Structure 1
Amino acid sequence: MSAEQAGRSIRCLVAKVGLDGHDRGAHVIARAFRDAGFEVIYSGLHNAPEEIVQAAVQEDVDVLGISILSGAHNTLVPKIMDGLEEYGAASDTLVLVGGVIPDEDRDGLEAEGVSAIFGPGTSIEETIEFVRENAPER
């Protein structure tokens, strides 16, 4: 059963990690999530992995959406996943990655605990539906 099925709103953190300054996609998805009825927190630009982990834990989010276009996903995403694990939050946080992720890197990110990867051209509706169906019940 998802969080939404349990009758509560889904709480999401949309985060930009590293030195990546391209935030249009993060803004679009944050607004779409808000319009879909989710509670949304946007991290702003240039966050260290540790800052994202702290925000996710402190805000007790159901969903962490990581937007990354810098090409550093194989370095930064595992640091975030390790941090969530350290705080005991990895098992009850749905982690999504959005950006240009090469096919050869997807399996590694999923092995780290990423639930889904959404690349360019993914419909907003598909992303919202995935969150609705998979956000953890707490």
Structure 2
Amino acid sequence: MRILVAKVGLDGHDRGAKIIATSLRDAGMEVIYTGLRQTPEMVVSAALQEDVDAIGVSILSGAHMTVFPKIAKLMKESGLDDVLLTGGGIIPDDDMTALQNMGVGQLFPPGTTTKTIVSYINEWVSVNRQF
């Protein structure tokens, strides 16, 4: 399973993203970490190039209602309909619900266990990615 972990925009806090990336790797997933200050276009391009099963976006800047819809739109335009878009960070519950209603996968607030995130990705990919 290949997972792309990304930090979009000017948010320079990547400790959480690195912890998640390490946990996913330790769970047996191949992880591609894009680093800081990515654009939605860069994230989707990397996802296409790396043939990933899921994209995880860490966002603490408050731009989640811009970033997630933009990535989702670019994914759809690029034919990545069967790739999970998930993530986490400081996202109010109402915004999480709105994003999930737009097709974004489950979003994880600070304090979520890495086991919960690994389990969710494993389950989603096994059900939705058919090879």
TM range (shorter): over 0.9
Give 2:48's match in structure 1, choosing from 25, 50, 57.
Answer: 57
Structure of higher RCO (CA pairs closer than 8 Å, 6+ residues apart)? 1
What amino acid is aligned across from residue 137 of structure 1 in structure 2?
A: Q
Give 2:130's match in structure 1, choosing from 109, 116, 137.
Answer: 137
CA deviations over 1:33-84 (Å, ceiling 9, x no partner): 0111000000000001100010111111001000000000001111100000
- State the partner residue of 1:21: 12
Give 1:100's match in structure 2, choosing from 90, 104, 109.
Answer: 90
Q: Distance in 1 between matches of 2:124 and 2:94?
A: 24
TM-score, normalised to structure 1, is: 0.90
CA drift at 1:22: 0.4
Give 1:86's match in structure 2, choosing from 77, 90, 93.
Answer: 77
Q: Distance in 1 between matches of 2:123 and 2:58?
A: 20
Greater helix content:
2
What amino acid is aligned across from residue 76 of structure 2 in structure 1?
A: E
Unaligned runs of 5+ in 2: none
Aligned-residue identity in percent: 52
Shift >4 Å, 4+ stretches? none
Q: Distance in 1 between matches of 2:10 and 2:130?
A: 33
- State the partner residue of 1:128: 118
Q: Secondary structure in 2 aligned to 1:134?
A: helix
Unaligned runs of 5+ in 1: 1-9
- Equivalent pairs, count: 128
Q: Secondary structure in 1 aligned to 2:61?
A: coil
Q: Distance in 2 between matches of 1:16 and 1:77?
A: 11
Give 1:114's match in structure 2, choosing from 104, 107, 127.
Answer: 104
TM-score, normalised to structure 2, is: 0.94
Q: Distance in 1 between matches of 2:3 and 2:63?
A: 22
